Amino acid sequence: MTADADFNPHSLTEQDFLDEVHSFQFWFDSVEGYLTDRVYGKLDSTVEEEIDDARRERLITTLCNYAVGETAALEGSAGLVRIAPDRNSKIFMATQVADEARHLEVFLHRLRELGVVDPESEIERRAQPALVDFKGSLLELVSEGDWQAAVFAQNVILESMEYTVFRVHAATADAVTKDVLAGVISDERRHAGFGENDLGRSLATDPSGRRRLREIRSHLDPMVLGVFEAALDDVGALAPERSRIAGEYLETVERLGLT
């Protein structure tokens, strides 16, 4: 089966649906539409525009923090392959490992294009401590084998905020950064969708899990929220756009009954 225009995932039984959307076949068909014609995320036809020093400086800080988030998701997804409760979820997580590695790669490449000679040390220097702490907490949940909590931290908290922030940033970004973000956004949407779907199903049969996830949420989401709000300040987002991060994220946790 394919992800072509005629394909209607809602016509499938639940298990067939999961087999379909968690497959590499679905992934190939999805990414083909927005990645195959781009080198490091950039369309051939896009021309680099003039970026003044102050704007470049702010963009470098933002991209360094995006790289921390992508590294967290890359290492998190890789660990989640091992602890996933079924084979479908392992396969989906393997597609996510590939996506997150690609996101990290395109952000590192963009940093070099912006004149950063050593992205590793620049990321170290500019990373917001709260995001580094979030990464540590996520990887702790993974190493404890806590699939439900780790999927919540990664595929709901981190992914839904990234999905919003990258879209707001893309609206004001220079042309090349906009291209790079466009390819990343489509992937993050798929990852956030997996998180909400997976937790929605597991919480339906285990309502007591909600209390535990609410506690995890109160500990983890301020870390990520503050970081992404700061990122939007750096890219010059206006107040209403900034409030979208909290708003869209809250809608997701409300749908899961975690407010």
The verdict on 188 binding Fe ion (CB under 5 A) reads: yes
C-beta closer to Fe ion: residue 33 or 115: 33
Query: Judged by CB, which is closer to Fe ion: 159, or 241?
Result: 159
Smallest distance, Å, CB 158 to Fe ion? Answer: 7
> Residue 70 or 241: which CB sits closer to Fe ion?
70
Per CB under 5 A, does 234 bind Fe ion? no
**Side-chain-side CA neighbours of residue 46 (13 Å):** 19
Task: Scan residues 102-121 and list those touching Fe ion (CB under 5 A).
Answer: 103
Decide if residue 242 touches Fe ion (CB under 5 A): no
Least distance to Fe ion from the beta carbon of 54, Å? 27
Site residues for Fe ion, window 65-84 (CB under 5 A)? 70, 73
Strands 38-39 and 42-43: antiparallel
Q: Identify the bridge partners of residue 43 per DSSP, sorted by sequence position.
A: 38
Q: Does 100 help bind Fe ion (rule: CB under 5 A)?
A: yes
Nearer to Fe ion, 51 or 78 (CB): 78
> Which residue lies nearer to Fe ion by CB, 3 or 211?
3
| CA dist., res. 164 & res. 237, Å (int) | 12
Pick from 149, 157, 156: nearest CA to 226: 157
For residue 141 the two structure tokens come to 């949940």
What value does the CA radius of gyration of the chain take, rounded to a whole number of Å?
18
Per-residue mark of binding to Fe ion, 143-162 (x: CB under 5 A): ----------------x---
List, in order, residues 6 or more apart from 34 with CB less than 8 Å away: 182, 183, 186
Closest C-alpha to 89, from 198, 14, 193, 252: 198
Question: Which H or E run contains 35?
Answer: helix 24-35
In the complex, the residues that contact Fe ion under the rule CB under 5 A are: 70, 73, 100, 103, 159, 188, 191
